[in-house]
Structure 1
Amino acid sequence: MNMEAAVFEIRSTDDDGKLTIVGTVPRGLTGYDGCHFDVSLVSTPLSASVRVYEIQPQNWSAFFQDLAANWKGWSGEKKMESLEGHLAVSATSDALGHISLRVKLRDIIPGTADWRAEGSLIVEAGQLERLAGDARKFFG
């Protein structure tokens, strides 16, 4: 069965920043069955990418669905991190309907280096429902 790679993307409303996730996420993964997807972050002047392994990718859908369900805002941070910590996203909201997504990428390359990159993206509360739908299509 030939499955085309899909794309999930979040674009910042206040600059050219974006988070792009590309891959094919199989449906019906159970137990320790997993998948890989490629993540890139552009947040001027930063550009970084990493390959992420995940055994419960649908948790990312639930994370974005939770943000959309609470579009009027929340206190504190809402956080999500991939199994091995290669991708982490924390979300905060303000009283004006702005959502700040702090995105952290990291990679450990055996025998060489451990690197980390992070940047922020701003989205509007009105975008959250679409992002939740896009996440559901991508992650299941």
Structure 2
Amino acid sequence: MKSVVLKSAETSSKIRLFDRDGDYFHISYQSPCISYSKRIWGYSDAANWIGSIRFMAENWKGWDGKVLIQSIEKDLSLTFTCDFLGHVSVLLSVCENQGPELWKAKSELKTTTVAMESFHSDMVRFFS
């Protein structure tokens, strides 16, 4: 699979993972207001991420607390929360921790637990 897209249930915003190259991939956020992307080192993270996404897909009636997916270098984090109606909030945080120009961007996207099922299967194909 060449890319994975998690779309907002409310707007045209989306989170996209693409250009997988060995242990690296790119992530982007696109909305009517802002767009950004970053190359991420996903060395050993994929199995844990897929397990967390499977948990969310299986718990379509919601879950307690937060589910955190984070890269080993902590330059990418996705924090998922869900209510009992299946409304999922995704807080995306991307940053550049090294180099001469440090930056950080945070965005929130609203989706549903139904979308988590296809997100899980797409992530399995993307990282296999």
TM-score normalised by length of structure 1: 0.83
Instruction: Give 2:62's aligned residue.
Output: 73
Moved segments of 4+, more than 4 Å: none
- Listed as ranges, the gaps of 5+ residues in structure 1 are 27-34
Instruction: Give 1:134's aligned residue.
Output: 122
Does 2:109 match 1:113?
A: no
CA distance in 2: counterparts of 1:72 and 1:130, whole angstroms? 16
SS across alignment from 1:24: strand
Identity rate, percent = 26
The one-letter code of the counterpart of 2:75 is: H
Q: In the alignment, which of 16, 19, 29 is matched to residue 20 of structure 1?
A: 16
Matches within 5 A, 1:46-125: 46-56=34-44, 57-110=46-99, 112-125=100-113
Structure of greater Rg: 1
- Structure 1 pair 135/25, CA: closer, same or farther in 2 (3 Å)? farther
Aligned pair count reads 127
Instruction: Give 1:31's aligned residue.
Output: none
CA distance in 2: counterparts of 1:131 and 1:25, whole angstroms? 20
SS across alignment from 2:53: helix
TM-score normalised by length of structure 2: 0.90
- Listed as ranges, the gaps of 5+ residues in structure 2 are none
How far residue 100 of structure 1 moved from its aligned partner, in angstroms, is 0.6
CA distance in 2: counterparts of 1:63 and 1:96, whole angstroms? 19
Judge conservation of contact 1:43–1:121 (CA < 8 Å) in 2.
Answer: no
